[in-house]
Amino acid sequence: MRELICLDFINIHVDSISNNNYFVYYPNSDFDVVSCQPIYKTGAIGKTKFKRLSNQSEKLGGELHILDKQRGTVFEFKEILFSNKEPVLGLILDKVLYKFPLMRIDKNTLISELFHPLELRELSEISIFYLDYKKQKIMR
Cα–Cα distances (Å) from 68 to 2, 64, 102, in that order, read 44, 13, 17
Q: Which of 24-28, 82-86, 99-103 has the lowest mean pLDDT?
A: 24-28
Could you report the per-residue pLDDT of 58-69, keeping only the tens digit for each?
677 889 999 999
DSSP assignment of 66-93, as one string? EEEETTEEEEEEEESS--SS--EEEEEE
Helix, strand, coil shares of the chain, percent, nearest 5, are: 5, 50, 45
Contact 12/4 with Cβ under 8 angstroms?
A: yes
- Please tell me the pTM assigned to this model: 0.63
Could you report the per-residue pLDDT of 29-58, keeping only the tens digit for each?
666 666 677 777 788 877 777 777 666 656
Residue-range domain boundaries for the chain: 2-52, 62-139
Domain 62-139's class? mainly beta
pLDDT of residue 82: 81
